[in-house]
Amino acid sequence: MDTYTAIDNFHAEQQCELRKIEGVYLPLSYGNGQTQEIEAIQTGAGLLDLKAFNLIMLDGPDAADFLQGLVSNDIRLIEIGQIQPNLLPNNKGKILFHIEVFRKTEHAYIVLTNAGEGSYVKSYLDHFHIQEDFEMSLLDPDQIRCDILGPQGLEALQQLGYETKDFNWYFQGRHIMSVPYPLGNILRFVNIIPSTIYLDWMQNLLEKSDRVAQVGFTAFDHVRIDAGIPRVWVDYTREHFPQEASLMNHVSFTKGCYVGQETHARMHNMGHPNWQSVAVRIPVSLQLKTEQALFCGQEKVGTITSLSCIENEAKQRGIAFIKYAAAQDNSALAAEAAGDGLIEQFPLATNR
């Protein structure tokens, strides 16, 4: 039995619903219920298996310069042990891939990709890799990503031997990397673990604390919406610019040239997008769903792209894609033409 099969069997024992993405399974939800999984993230520690999210290592003296010419953010600002949000734009400035970049050492960087996109991102990077001095490789299946989300995450890791002074630590004699990378205001650790000890690592976390629970990507999705974090293929696509997707903390306007930079700079300095993603706060009593049209007066100004099930004071949060003018005016929105403006809007957490 290979490592991935053993991990998926372990999930299946917990009545986990799994989705196959490019040959690898992503846990969606467990038998204990979505409400309990969300609560684990909010008050305890949610253990999210992200082995479907591929990892690409670039290691060598030219790795930083190579990435700097392709990604939208400033690679030079990443300290060793930090993760930076980033984009790979196309030559027109539209979003080709959403990624994060982790700086492991002075010359080694790990590109964190979305589910099933690792081989495509690697092929894209390979296209530009001509004579630069670095080696590039997919880390999985030898290394697996698992995120821990929630206020008890640090304590859970410390019970297994993690110390906050360094992201490098050891479990069962094998090297692990645990990097703080908040999801909005929610504490999150991105963990990169050797596949040979992955299952033991997960089981030990679950056994040592009753505050740690396995959570699926569905619960994570509701939490990230509530935190005001847009997601690719849900709130934006490859047809959108970073300004439209409100991913301004993914873009540097001072770093110099990169693929798509001219379009980003022109829009930033001399114009604006026609549309923009915003966070919305909606009365639960309206019983809205995604793809619901939104109005200002008689005019349709956009639609809801994401909606969280998390309720607070009889309201739930979502993400909407609306006309730029309506976003700039902070206009109250309605669910029907000439309806009452009961829907509040505010900037996304990623729109610095």
Which amino acid would we find at residue 164?
T
202 and 280 fall within a common domain: no
* 301 lies in some domain: yes
Domain of residue 291, CATH code: 2.40.30
pLDDT at 329: 85
Q: Is the pLDDT of residue 90 over 80?
A: yes
* 234 lies in some domain: no
176 and 315 fall within a common domain: no
Residue that terminates a domain, selected from 192, 226, 260:
226
pLDDT at 250: 97
pLDDT at 54: 96
Domain of residue 158, CATH code: 3.30.1360.120
For 286-332, how does the pLDDT look when each residue is reduced to its tens digit (9 = 90+)? Answer: 999 999 999 999 999 999 999 999 999 999 999 999 999 999 988 89
**Which residues have C-beta within 8 Å of that of residue 50, sequence separation ≥ 6?**
26, 115, 144, 145, 146, 147
The CA R_g of the chain, rounded to the nearest whole Å, is 21
174 and 36 fall within a common domain: yes
- Return the SS3 of 242: helix
pLDDT at 299: 96
pTM for the full predicted model: 0.96
Q: What are 226's two structure tokens? A: 């509530």
35 and 175 fall within a common domain: yes
Residue 298's domain comprises 274-352
Give the chain's domain count.
2
CA distance 137 to 63: 12
For the chain, what is the largest distance between any 2 Cα atoms, rounded to a whole number of angstroms? 65
How large is the average pLDDT for residues 251-262?
Answer: 95
How large is the average pLDDT for residues 75-93?
Answer: 97
Give the residue among 236, 183, 313 at the shortest CA–CA distance from 344: 313
pLDDT at 2: 87
* 122 lies in some domain: no
* 213 lies in some domain: yes
* 70 lies in some domain: no
CA distance 30 to 139: 27
Residue that terminates a domain, selected from 209, 226, 243:
226
pLDDT at 164: 86
CA distance 210 to 83: 29
* 330 lies in some domain: yes
Q: Is the pLDDT of residue 47 over 80?
A: yes
For 106-127, how does the pLDDT look when each residue is reduced to its tens digit (9 = 90+)? Answer: 999 999 999 999 999 999 999 9
* 198 lies in some domain: yes
Phi and psi of 300, rounded to 5°? -75, 125
> Burial level of 327, CB count in 10 A (0-12/13-18/19+)?
buried
pLDDT at 331: 86
213 and 284 fall within a common domain: no
Q: Is the pLDDT of residue 1 over 80?
A: no
35 and 184 fall within a common domain: yes
pLDDT at 201: 97
How sure is the predictor about 66, in pLDDT bands with cuts at 50, 70 and 90?
very high
41 and 154 fall within a common domain: yes
pLDDT at 291: 97
Q: How high is the mean pLDDT of the chain? A: 96
Residue that terminates a domain, selected from 169, 194, 226:
226
How sure is the predictor about 32, in pLDDT bands with cuts at 50, 70 and 90?
confident
For 136-169, how does the pLDDT look when each residue is reduced to its tens digit (9 = 90+)? Answer: 999 999 999 999 999 999 999 999 999 988 999 9
146 and 219 fall within a common domain: yes
Q: Is the pLDDT of residue 253 over 90?
A: yes
Pairing label, strands 299-312, 293-296: antiparallel
pLDDT at 33: 84
* 94 lies in some domain: no
Give the residue among 194, 78, 188, 93 at the shortest CA–CA distance from 139: 194
CA distance 98 to 114: 7
Sign of dihedral through CA atoms 277, 282, 286, 287? positive
pLDDT at 283: 98
pLDDT at 268: 87
